[in-house]
Structures are given as C-alpha cells and as structure tokens.
C-alpha cells in the first residue's frame, strides 16, 4: 500500500469518527448513529474496532445515566407531591385543629368567670371537643393513606357496585331512583378497596346532592375497556357544580362544594389520591342543576 492511499483511508476514517467524537464531547453521544465498521477488512480495521469498542462503551454508559436520570426525576416528582401534601397538612393544622382548641379555651375562661349559665357553655364545649376529635380522626385517616397499601386482586365490578350501592343507600328512600348500568368490562385487576371507595363516594354524593325539583334521580354507570385502560363513566342528574370553578373544591382536602349539606370534605380527596396511586385519572364534567359526569381511567394490568 502506498502512503497516498493510506492517507486517503485515514482521512475517510477521521470523517467517520468526527461526529462521534464531537457528540461524545458534548455528552450527546446517543444522538449519533452507531459507528459501523465496513465488512471489507483493511489496514485500518483494528483502529476502527478500537474506536467502536470505545464508542459502544460510551453509549452504554450514557444509556445507564439516562435511566438513572429518569428514575431521579420520577422520585423528585414523588417528593414534590409529598411536600405539597405536607403543606396542605400544616395549613389544615394551623386552622382546622386550632379553631376548636381556641373555642374550648375561651369557653373554659367563660366558665371560670361564672358570667353565663354553665349548661349552655358545657354544651358548646362538648361540641368543640367533638369537632376537634373529628378533625383529628380525618387527619389520621389521611396520613394512613399516604403510603400505598393497595393489593391488586381481580375485582368483579358489577358485584362490587351492587354491594356498595346497598351499603351507601341504606339510609335513603330509593323508590324514585333509576339506575342504568352497562358492564362491558366486568372484571379488572386492581385494588378492591379503592374501587369500593370510588363507588361509595360517587353514590353517596349523588344521594346527598339530589335535586329535589326532579322527579327521578337517575344514575348511569358504564364500564368498558380499551387496549390500555379500563374506563368507568358515572353520571347523575343531581344538583351539579359550577365547573370548572368548583373542581378544586370537589377534589380538595377539607373542602366541600355544597355548603348546605354536611360533609367532612375528604371523600373525593381520597378517591382522587387512590386513582393517582393506580396511575389513573378522574375527570368531572357538568354544570349547576344539570348533574355531574365522572370519567375514571385506570391503566390495564
């Protein structure tokens, strides 16, 4: 081989190497095509093989780093979510826990002063302590649910819905209620507790927030499956909500969207957390006096 043709080959090789070298220096190695050695062997084949080993090595390392990066950003998201939850907690404790304690203290002061009939004050004291007890229990409930505890089992949606319907409706008159169900997909691998909790909250909210002006309360439930997920749609013709303004109140913690009816304001918060934990989504549509429609998507396992 003469020096001229060798020179040509070296030039061609450096041209091939150039993008790989530049990209590896920029840390963008994965963007380049694979470094391919021509099948036909020549004097530079050992050099090419050497470079190929180096490039493949770098490529592999970069892939590893990218995987770790993905994992880290996922963890980071989880941590941000936890921080957000903790911030909600401090907000609640600075208000909902403090309010009944302040009231109890003031009432005890009044008792000491002996200015008012003690019967009335003791009654109010009793109420304050009950309020405190309820708020504490709710907080304990929520804290217990911050760690994923669900076990995946095969859940029969029709049976579960029927069972929960009986449970949730036992204190209501049901003669005027029409229920339409379509179970295109009847079983799913999921958390039984979460599905029960979902049905319970949807039904009990429909019962609580019925529109007294309508002759019938109509509930519609449909379950179906797509290649990737199970879709549950549920709707009623109740009082509805002012959406999207009230969406935050519906899914928020300790918030209620309807003022005139008692509720602790944690039911739909927990449902939303459960669905998030199953990597699913819950969406709500509707308007005031028209009723609500929920779409729940849970990935197929």
Partner 1 sequence: MKNIIIIDDDDIHNFILENELTSSYQCQVQCFTDTTKATLYLKDNQPDIILLDINMRPMNGFEFLENYISNKLVNNKTKIYIISSSKHEKDINKAKTFPVITDYLVKPINYSVLNISQK
- Closest to partner 1 by CB, 127 vs 281, is 127
User: If binding is defined by CB under 8 A, does position 136 make contact with partner 1?
Assistant: no
Structure token pair of residue 203: 């039904």
User: If binding is defined by CB under 8 A, does position 103 make contact with partner 1?
Assistant: yes
- Closest to partner 1 by CB, 18 vs 116, is 116
Number of shown-chain residues binding partner 1 (CB under 8 A): 25
Given candidates 107, 155, 239, 270, which one binds partner 1 under the rule CB under 8 A? 107
Which residues lie across from 191 on neighbouring strands? 152
**Using CB under 8 A, which residues numbered 240 to 269 contact partner 1?**
249, 255-259
User: If binding is defined by CB under 8 A, does position 94 make contact with partner 1?
Assistant: yes
User: If binding is defined by CB under 8 A, does position 122 make contact with partner 1?
Assistant: no
Only one of the segments 8-16, 35-43, 100-108, 214-222 lies at the binding site for partner 1 (rule: CB under 8 A); that segment is 100-108
SS3 of 295, please? strand
Q: What is the DSSP string of 3-32?
A: HHHHHHHHHHHHHHHHHHHHHHHHT-GGGS
Structure token pair of residue 153: 């089992």
What is the rounded distance in angstroms from the CA atom of residue 42 to the CA atom of residue 129?
89
**Using CB under 8 A, which residues numbered 58 to 77 contact partner 1?**
none
- Closest to partner 1 by CB, 203 vs 257, is 257
CA distances from 131 to 124, 208, 240 (A): 10, 21, 28
Work out how close the CB of 120 gets to partner 1 at its nearest, in angstroms, rounded to a whole number: 8
Work out how close the CB of 155 gets to partner 1 at its nearest, in angstroms, rounded to a whole number: 34
Q: Where are the alpha helices (DSSP H) in the chain?
A: 3-26, 45-92, 98-113, 118-144, 157-169, 192-208, 247-251, 267-277
Structure token pair of residue 293: 């429609």
What is the rounded distance in angstroms from the CA atom of residue 53 to the CA atom of residue 70?
26
- Closest to partner 1 by CB, 168 vs 266, is 266
- Closest to partner 1 by CB, 127 vs 225, is 127
Question: Which parts of this chain interact with partner 1 (CB under 8 A)?
Answer: 90-91, 94-96, 98-100, 102-103, 105-107, 110, 115-116, 124, 127-128, 249, 255-259
């Amino acid at each position: 081989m003469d020096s001229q043709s060798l020179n040509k080959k070296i030039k061609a090789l450096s041209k091939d190497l150039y993008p790989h070298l530049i990209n590896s220096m920029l840390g963008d190695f994965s963007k380049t095509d694979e470094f391919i050695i021509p099948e036909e062997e020549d004097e530079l084949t050992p050099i090419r093989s050497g470079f190929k080993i180096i490039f493949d090595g770098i490529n592999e390392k970069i892939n590893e780093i990218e995987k770790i990066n993905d994992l880290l950003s996922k963890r980071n998201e989880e941590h941000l979510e936890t921080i957000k939850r903790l911030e909600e907690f401090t907000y609640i404790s600075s208000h909902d826990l403090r309010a009944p304690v302040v009231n109890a203290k003031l009432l005890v002061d009044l008792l000491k002063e002996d200015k008012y009939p003690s019967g009335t004050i003791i009654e109010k004291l009793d109420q304050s302590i009950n309020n405190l007890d309820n708020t504490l229990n709710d907080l304990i409930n929520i804290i217990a649910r911050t760690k994923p505890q669900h076990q995946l089992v095969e859940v029969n949606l029709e049976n579960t819905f029927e069972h929960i319907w009986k449970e949730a409706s036992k204190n209501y008159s049901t003669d005027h209620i029409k229920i339409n169900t379509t179970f295109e997909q009847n079983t799913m691998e999921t958390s039984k507790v979460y599905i029960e909790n979902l049905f319970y909250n949807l039904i009990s909210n429909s019962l609580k927030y019925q529109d007294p002006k309508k002759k019938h309360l109509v509930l519609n439930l449909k379950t179906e499956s797509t290649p990737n997920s199970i879709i549950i749609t549920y709707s009623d013709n109740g009082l509805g909500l002012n959406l999207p303004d009230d969406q935050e109140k519906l899914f928020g913690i300790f918030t209620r969207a309807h003022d005139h009816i008692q509720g602790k304001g944690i039911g739909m918060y927990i449902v939303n957390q459960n669905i998030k934990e199953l990597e699913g989504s819950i969406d709500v549509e509707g308007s005031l006096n028209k009723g609500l429609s929920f779409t729940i998507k849970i990935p197929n396992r």
